[in-house]
Every structure is written in C-alpha cells, then in structure tokens.
Amino acid sequence: MRLTRRDALVALGATGLAGAGVGAGVLAFDDGSPADGDDETGADALLRSLAAAAEVLYPSGVEGVEEFVETYSLGRVRGRETYREGLRRAVSDLDAAARAWYGAPYADLDRDTRESVLRELGADTADADPEGRRGERIRYYVVEELLYAFYASPTGGRLAGIENPVGYPGGVESYRRGPEAARTGSERGDDSGDGGESP
C-alpha cells in the first residue's frame, strides 16, 4: 500500500484546507525565511521527526510516508501561526525526550525505540490538548494529526474499511454497488453466499 501526495491533499480537504497551497519544500518560521535544516527545530528536522512518528503509527507495509506527511503537514501549517508554533513545540519536546533518554534525535532511533518514546511520554493514552502537558500536546499535534491524515485519505480509509473518507469524491461507484459489496468484496453486492472475506 502506497500513500501519495493526492492522499495528503484529500486528507487536507477533509480539514477544510484543500486550497491552502501546499507544495513548498520548506516550512517558514518566525521571520518567514526557511528554517535551517541543521537546526533541531528546523523544517527538515521537524518533517523528519513527523515522518518517523508516522512510521510508528501507520501499518508497517505502508510506503510513501515521507512525501505524504510533508504534503499534509505543510498544508496544515500554512497561514496558521499559532498551530505552526504548537506543532514545532510538540515535535521539539518529542525530539528532546529522545535525545535525553536514548542519546539521539527521534528520527534517528529505530522503530521500536520510537514507539517506546511515545509510550513513555504518555502520548498513547493522553487526552489530546494543544495547551496541555507535554504528552497531551504531542498527542494532539503529532499522534492525532498523523492518524487523522492517514484515515482521512483514500488509501488509509480503504485499509480501515471506510469506502469514502470525508472529502473524497468517490461516492458514485460505491453507491451503485451498495453496502454489501464493501463487506464481502463482491463487485455488485449480490448475496450469493460465496461472498469474499469480511474485514
């Protein structure tokens, strides 16, 4: 299964930001200039950390994660200074915890260790709160945003059995097939009994 830039744009459409103008290769911070990729809070480091978190949160067979996360994240922050600063702070906290506990930036850790960092921060069980404690902010800006992006995309939605995620213009085909087709895998939705597998 491969995530694409189109998947990210559809997920952005579900948030109401489809026209936000994604496509820039960098995030701008503070004075509007591109952030320094060597800075731990720079755009490159931020996007690497988000992609690394997505690799933990998404099913292991998913490809195209970096491009998907970059497109979605750039669209989410464009023109939203408060959100952008909250995201930067949450990712910086995630990276700082990884450095303190495991001696390396979050994105440089192996998948199992990255998962451990999220759990140790409580981001797997915390209530999402953009103004809350560290784990709550990471839950809000990193975990929930990345999961929302994945399951609001056509590719992620199909994996979860959601035929048409919000914002995806694919309803006509499934409308013609009916609900049984989605459950049985049958193209016309007939109840002949040979059915295919249920999800």
Sign of torsion, CA 131 133 134 137? negative
What are the pLDDT digits (tens) for 125-174? Answer: 999 999 999 999 999 999 999 998 888 888 888 777 776 655 556 655 65
Comparison of pLDDT for 180 and 133, the residue scoring more: 133
Write out the H or E segment, with its range, that includes residue 149: helix 145-152
Terminal CA-to-CA distance of the chain, rounded, Å?
A: 16
Q: Where are the domains of the chain?
A: 5-158, 170-199
Report residue 34 as tokens.
Answer: 């591109």
**How does residue 198 score in pLDDT terms, banded at 50, 70 and 90?**
very low
19 contact partners, CB below 8 Å, separation of at least 6: none
pLDDT at 170: 60
CA 157 to CA 159: how far, in whole Å?
A: 5
A 10 A CB-CB count for 117 gives 22
Q: What is the pTM of this model?
A: 0.71
